[in-house]
Chain A
Amino acid sequence: MSEHATARKELAVSDEVAIDIRGMNKWYGTFHVLRDINLTVYQGERIVICGPSGSGKSTLIRCINALEEHQQGSIEVDGTRLTNDLKNIDKVRSEVGMCFQHFNLFPHLTILENCTLAPIWVRKEPKKQAIETAMHFLEKVKIPDQAKKYPGQLSGGQQQRVAIARSLCMKPRVMLFDEPTSALDPEMIKEVLDTMIELAEEGMTMLCVTHEMGFARQVANRVIFMDQGQIVEQNEPEAFFNNPQSDRTKLFLSQILGH
């Protein structure tokens, strides 16, 4: 697609639509928080969403797995349309993994139990198989030796990697990341980003709300800039960072890349 992208590892993007958002609007009471969102995400895409705080970027990805409901327009995930039908919502949620800023691990369960809970109860997997899958993904995020511990005994970076493994155990088609490194101490950010990069390289479709612009340059095939509830600009990372078009994008980039 781009001659600038040669520095990055080229990753395949298929023609298959993973997420299709059309004319979506959302209000909090009278406050119009998301305005006329149109976004098509193809299988294998790695999209970074950035923007000033309060711009609606988290709300946008939370709409994709119906943690927030939208009032107008349509969201289709893997061909399943999100309506008020609980059945569709549960189906979408089990196909879409999500990592949160504060990990949201279950503190009363061990790391292993955190990872096997949903496969056992939602996917009805036999316990033995769920444990095998969980250990596989815990190895992938490089913390199999912590499986018997509780989340409170792990560092923030380890907890976030567990959260990623927990989502992967559901074999999701799409992963959403909501500021996954914002609550971490600086020395732990890299271990989480490395995990995410590895995931991207395996072809996972990812939408990340993050301020890690290095990650965006290295991994993303598309960067979306949001402001005041709208998608203001989107482009390939090189073009986005080197040649922003909108004034608002320029201002934002000058603020976060200022020093």
Chain B
Amino acid sequence: MTTHHNAAFVRTEDAPLMEAPSSQIGLRAWLWKNIFASMADYATPGKAVISLLMTVITIFTAYALIWMTWTLLDFALFSATFFDPEGLKRDACLDEAGACWPYVKAKWYQFMYGFYPPEEVWRVNVCMGMLAIGIAWLVFPLPHRGKVALFMLFAYPVIAFVLLNGMPIEHEGDIGQVVSGVWFPLILAGIAFAGWWLARSDRYGDVVNAMAPALLMAAIVLGIFAGLPLVTMALDLALGTEVVETNKWGGLTITLVVAIFGIVISLPVGMLLALGRQSNAPIIRYSSIIFIEVVRGIPLISVLFFASAMLPYFLEPGVDFNKLLRAMIGVVLFASAYMAEVIRGGLQAIPKGQYEGGMSLGLSFWQQMRLIILPQALTTVIPGIVNTFIGLFKDTTLVLIISIFDLLGILSATLKDPEWSTPTTAYTGYLVIALIYWIFCFSMSRYSVYMENKLDRSHR
């Protein structure tokens, strides 16, 4: 052993760059690293025990996977009945132990449209077609996105309503009665709106100025109160082209109407609530907190039940909300409260320096929010937002309890049809419905991942 090393060293030429060894690349390397390596170490008794354990777990998992896949394929394909050429209905499916596809074919219309009259169903198709094109336009960014987004947000709902429901021309309800229920909130909304208009200019000092957002919120809420009976009247008034009452809507149509309405409205409302919860003005802060905590603290079923059964008691007699509209509002309130908390998480992740950076440049509060804080906060919590959307999409099934037949509700209804009563009908139906839900939810999930990657500026 030497006692002294010469520490001086000078590299005269670079070490060569070499290709990675074959143990690092290719399918074999992948299989080895991810599956077999954990089972191959027997160097010490402890490691041997772990390796044996991993072997058992691997074999069990592989078996379970194969077994489940086989069972599913066997049910859905190999043992299934596909055709019913003689129109035997349930008898066609009784021989086989697998899925009864003729049942799905027979009930497909109801799965999609509920009890919508077949001769009018083109209206739903046009509506959904426009929706699909609109969403595709925004999801795969095509030119003029902004205009399409505006169209989808403001014009499309009106078009969709007129298409799905029918065109209101003549009326049966008592307009006077409806108007009497409208004028009071309408006047209050007008006052609040005028107050906001005055307060947002800086002429009347800071205290008034600070009240502007609260006044705007009040105006919007009161406006909704005033507007709802009007919308309901429009719904209830019986109408020139054939009106398809909302109680005939059903199936996937209802699911999509409720879910998309919920998704589109809950995001901005959730944003306002999240900002409100962080506000320095106690009235705004506490009303946001109370709203969020109350709504979050009760089950959606209670909200829907309240909206369906109790709300009429609070309204003047004769003013009747459409049941579907009530359910939609219930869903929106519920989703907004969750959304607010998700977005608040995002707001808290934004460093104080971002606010200060904006402030030091002279940006106003709303400019800071819109241009700096919210874009970053929302990007941060895309997984949480989409999580809430997916939850909301599936929660729409709860409208069943106020007898609105969404996709799942219509399935339960068709299962009661004795003509198609076989041991496997229910399994087949639930499999199909599960697949439809899964396709929608998985699409949202993938879009979320795509957006996360696209908006990630941290290491590009």
Secondary structure at the A interface, as helix, strand, loop or mixed, is: mixed
- Judging by beta carbons under 8 Å apart, are A153 and B460 in contact? yes
A residues near B, CB below 8 A? 65, 67, 84-87, 90-91, 93-94, 96-98, 100, 102, 104-108, 117-118, 121-122, 150-153, 166-167, 170
B357 within 8 A of A: yes
- Judging by beta carbons under 8 Å apart, are B361 and A118 in contact? yes
- Judging by beta carbons under 8 Å apart, are A122 and B353 in contact? no
- Judging by beta carbons under 8 Å apart, are A86 and B209 in contact? yes
- Judging by beta carbons under 8 Å apart, are B353 and A104 in contact? yes
B375 within 8 A of A: yes
Secondary structure at the B interface, as helix, strand, loop or mixed, is: helix
B354 within 8 A of A: yes
A112→B237 CA distance, assembly (Å): 55
- Judging by beta carbons under 8 Å apart, are A166 and B457 in contact? no
- Judging by beta carbons under 8 Å apart, are A108 and B360 in contact? no
Residue of B nearest to A123 (CB): B362
Q: A-B pairs with the 5 shortest C-beta distances? A: A94-B362, A104-B357, A118-B361, A104-B353, A98-B360
- Judging by beta carbons under 8 Å apart, are B356 and A150 in contact? no
- Judging by beta carbons under 8 Å apart, are B371 and A121 in contact? yes
| B372 surroundings in chain A (CB, below 8 A) | 106, 117
B350 to chain A, nearest CB (A): 10
- Judging by beta carbons under 8 Å apart, are A90 and B376 in contact? no
B57 within 8 A of A: no
B353, B371, B379: which contacts A117 (Cβ < 8 A)?
B371
- Judging by beta carbons under 8 Å apart, are A152 and B458 in contact? yes
A40→B358 CA distance, assembly (Å): 27
B residues near A, CB below 8 A? 202, 205-206, 209, 351, 353-354, 356-364, 367, 371-372, 375-376, 379, 455, 457-460
A96→B356 CA distance, assembly (Å): 13
- Judging by beta carbons under 8 Å apart, are B354 and A118 in contact? no
- Judging by beta carbons under 8 Å apart, are A87 and B202 in contact? yes
- Judging by beta carbons under 8 Å apart, are A107 and B458 in contact? yes
B209, B358, B375: which contacts A108 (Cβ < 8 A)?
B375
- Judging by beta carbons under 8 Å apart, are A86 and B206 in contact? yes
| A100 surroundings in chain B (CB, below 8 A) | 353, 356-357, 360
B354, B360, B458, B459: which contacts A67 (Cβ < 8 A)?
B360
With A121-B371, A153-B460: A106-B364 Cβ-Cβ less than 8 Å: no
A102→B353 CA distance, assembly (Å): 8
A102, A108, A117: which contacts B457 (Cβ < 8 A)?
A108
- Judging by beta carbons under 8 Å apart, are B457 and A122 in contact? no
| A118 surroundings in chain B (CB, below 8 A) | 361-363
- Judging by beta carbons under 8 Å apart, are B460 and A94 in contact? no
A151 to chain B, nearest CB (A): 8
A167→B202 CA distance, assembly (Å): 25
Task: Please name 16 further chain A to chain B contacts, defined as beta carbons within 8 Å, in addition to the given A85-B205, A104-B353, sorted by A numbering.
Answer: A65-B360, A87-B202, A94-B362, A102-B353, A104-B354, A104-B357, A106-B376, A108-B376, A108-B379, A108-B455, A108-B457, A117-B371, A122-B362, A150-B460, A152-B458, A152-B460
A121→B457 CA distance, assembly (Å): 23
With A108-B379, A121-B371: A170-B362 Cβ-Cβ less than 8 Å: yes
- Judging by beta carbons under 8 Å apart, are A67 and B361 in contact? no
- Judging by beta carbons under 8 Å apart, are A121 and B363 in contact? yes
Residue of B nearest to A83 (CB): B206
A107 to chain B, nearest CB (A): 6
B359, B371, B457: which contacts A107 (Cβ < 8 A)?
B457
A118→B363 CA distance, assembly (Å): 7
B147 to chain A, nearest CB (A): 19
- Judging by beta carbons under 8 Å apart, are B206 and A84 in contact? yes
With A87-B202, A106-B372, A121-B367: A93-B357 Cβ-Cβ less than 8 Å: no
| B354 surroundings in chain A (CB, below 8 A) | 104, 106
| A91 surroundings in chain B (CB, below 8 A) | 362
| B457 surroundings in chain A (CB, below 8 A) | 107-108, 150-152
| A170 surroundings in chain B (CB, below 8 A) | 361-362
| A96 surroundings in chain B (CB, below 8 A) | 360
